[in-house]
Chains A and B, each alone.
Chain A
Amino acid sequence: MSIVYKRPEVFTDEYKKYCGGCGHGIINRLIGEIMEEENLVDKAVLIWPIGCSVYADKYFKTDSICALHGRAPAVGTGVKRSCPEDLVVVYQGDGDMVSEGMAEIMHAGIRGEKFTVVFVNNSIYGMTGGQMAPTTLMDQVTTTTPYGRKDENTGHPVNMAEIISGLNGCYYSERVTVNSPANIRKTKAAIKKAFKYQMEGKGLSFVEVLSPCPTGWKVKPLQALKWIDDVVTKQYPLGVFKDCGQEEK
């Protein structure tokens, strides 16, 4: 009998505090699998945000730092400059990155910091109870846009993978999602590529992952997966926006 599915050994026994149908668990798992497959556990420093993944430092048997809200790219800058041989992963949600920490992520990209950013975009504030994020879709109902998001008051959604790809310091930027087995495999390939570029000493590698939030969106998990295909990817198209590794070939 062959093993086709097992828990990554880099995971601790800690119970993961994510809601049913949430994408964080899948993305955490992919990071764990890749670190094991690429022998990076020993070199990893994972930097976690404030948001739904705030307790993820408890889930991995690696060095972990939980940063202040929005500041993970600044902390990551300090860590990577201090330990350039390490795998530094800056993990952020959309409220953390695009609202509170917009300056930090933009300038990490401007400086071309040589770490990997895994950006989990579920277009809502999950942990604080479903408020609007800068990434919230037009007309999306949240607790702070109870009549739907309207541009005259809040402007439009922010497409980070495209924005970051426009910075010279960015080496690789791709948007993926985890709403189907095929897409999960593509997400794994994107994060793996990002880690590879980092270990080769390239500039900022940025992977935006569209992630379902059934609790915040107030839909059933399967509806959330379908909503990503039907609605979310219309605002946030999947694809590679920059890959200097391809261009160099």
Chain B
Amino acid sequence: MGDKVFMQGNEAFAEAAIRSGCKFFFGYPITPSSEIPEYYAKKAPSEGLTFIQAETEVSAFNMVAGVAATGKRGMTATSGPGFSLGCEAMSYMSAAGLPSVIVDCMRPGPADGEILGSQGDYNQLTKGGGHGDYNTIVLAPYSVQEYADFAPLAFDLAEKYRNPVVVASDGTIAKMMENVEFPEKIAPKGRSDWACDGINGRDHYNDITTCGDGPEQWEKYNLNLQSKYTKIRENEQRWEEIQTDDADILIVAFGSLSRVCLTAMRIARENGIKVGIIRPITLWPFPVKAFEKFADKDVKYFVTELNAGQMVNDVKLAVNDNKKVEFYGRLGGITPTPVELYKKLCELYK
């Protein structure tokens, strides 16, 4: 690890991605993600990077698919409207087993919407978004440091499972500046045995396709995908617990909003209410294991999101409807204050 630098979230992610050996970036400008393509464009000559400003997000995602198909690290970054366009390629890359990293700097929808922090893409990111039965790993950072840390992690997970990985930041994490430490640069890895980078001496040729060859073949293909998703669910659930041991009320929040919850928790504890936090880090696979240890405890849940209530449904599934689960959300790009959350919590559980 090097020295700490004071840096904006998006730029920190871009720097960390470059250090992770991601030499290819394809993207289309959209607020609040544009600093990532700008950083790549700026660093391209000195770092030997390929940067293309694509004509559409549709193309950008498919260019990422092309690089991924050759076994090299490539990425794009966008926000909700662009991610919607990219969903066709997300379905494709998932089906084709192409390891890629996509950043979604969430902003409030639907449609054009607004450009501040939001978590309104939760369902789109975790339930598919594109067509067919597929899943992508989704990492939700809550700080600039974690945002940067997720760059190498995202590529490692993408290659481990040959699956797209989404880093779901938002307008707040993307734009804020904090101290951040970067990992050392890693050397690019060698050729991948499965990739389409030309035979060039390999002892076999490779074929990447998502076209089914009859229903029996395609069901088998789908079942293989599903068993991969089962493995990911077993192995990759990530979450953070904060002061949960003695808690009567557990706040469930992710990303930028979980920072606000830290202060809300402190206020609550100062006022004699034992509050803890479960912060999902992987939105998919959703960390259901985090809730299992509280199954026999007398706890209530307070889920808060910057949307109309999306993750709350996964929390309800995780607790099997055996616990009280209340929800509070803000829309339009508004982030609630700690006092607002504390008051809401008191109102719901007085």
Q: Which residues of A pack against B, CB within 8 Å?
A: 41-45, 48, 50, 54-55, 57-58, 60-68, 71, 74-83, 85-87, 103-104, 106-107, 110-111
Residue of chain B at shortest CB distance from A68:
B92
Q: How far apart sit A230 and B208, CA to CA, in the bound complex (Å)?
A: 40
Q: Does B210 contact A (CB under 8 A)?
A: yes
Closest A-B pairs by Cβ, 5 of them: A78-B66, A74-B62, A66-B209, A63-B196, A75-B66
Q: Which residues of A contact B64 (CB under 8 A)?
A: 78
What bracket does the count of chain B residues touching chain A fall in?
35 or more
Q: Which residues of chain B in 175-202 are interfacial with respect to chain A, using CB atoms and an 8 Å cutoff?
A: 196-201
Which of B63, B200, B209 lies in contact with A65, CB distance below 8 A? B209
Q: Which residues of A contact B200 (CB under 8 A)?
A: 42-43, 86
**Contact in complex: A79, B69 (CB < 8 Å):** yes
B217 to A: closest C-beta gap in Å = 12
Q: Which residues of chain B in 233-252 are interfacial with respect to chain A, using CB atoms and an 8 Å cutoff?
A: none
Other A-B pairs beyond A63-B198, A78-B65, 9, CB < 8 Å: A45-B70, A65-B209, A74-B59, A74-B66, A78-B24, A81-B50, A83-B70, A87-B198, A104-B55
Residue of chain B at shortest CB distance from A106:
B55
A68 to B: closest C-beta gap in Å = 5
Take A65-B209, A71-B59, A81-B52 as given contacts and tell me if A86 and B197 are in contact as well, using a CB distance cutoff of 8 Å: yes
- Total contacts A to B, CB within 8 angstroms? 136
**Contact in complex: A78, B211 (CB < 8 Å):** no
Q: How far apart sit A75 and B60, CA to CA, in the bound complex (Å)?
A: 9
**Contact in complex: B62, A67 (CB < 8 Å):** yes
Q: How far apart sit A78 and B67, CA to CA, in the bound complex (Å)?
A: 5
A230 to B: closest C-beta gap in Å = 35
B273 to A: closest C-beta gap in Å = 52
Q: Does B58 contact A (CB under 8 A)?
A: yes
A5 to B: closest C-beta gap in Å = 25
Which of A74, A82, A111 lies in contact with B70, CB distance below 8 A? A82
**Contact in complex: A79, B70 (CB < 8 Å):** yes
Q: Which residues of B pack against A, CB within 8 Å?
A: 24, 26, 50, 52, 54-56, 58-60, 62-70, 72, 74, 88-89, 92, 196-201, 205-211, 213
Residue of chain B at shortest CB distance from A86:
B198
Q: Which residues of A contact B211 (CB under 8 A)?
A: 50, 54-55, 66
Which of B197, B200, B207, B213 has the most chain A CB atoms closer than 10 A to its own CB?
B207
**Contact in complex: B69, A78 (CB < 8 Å):** yes
Residue of chain A at shortest CB distance from B70:
A82
Q: Which residues of B contact A43 (CB under 8 A)?
A: 198-200
Q: Which residues of A contact B88 (CB under 8 A)?
A: 68
Take A75-B65, A107-B54 as given contacts and tell me if A61 and B209 are in contact as well, using a CB distance cutoff of 8 Å: no
Query: What are 28 A-B pairs with beta-carbon distances under 8 A?
Result: A42-B199, A42-B201, A44-B198, A45-B70, A45-B198, A60-B205, A63-B206, A64-B196, A64-B206, A64-B208, A66-B208, A66-B210, A67-B65, A71-B59, A74-B60, A74-B66, A77-B63, A78-B65, A78-B74, A81-B24, A82-B74, A83-B70, A83-B198, A85-B198, A103-B59, A104-B59, A106-B55, A107-B59
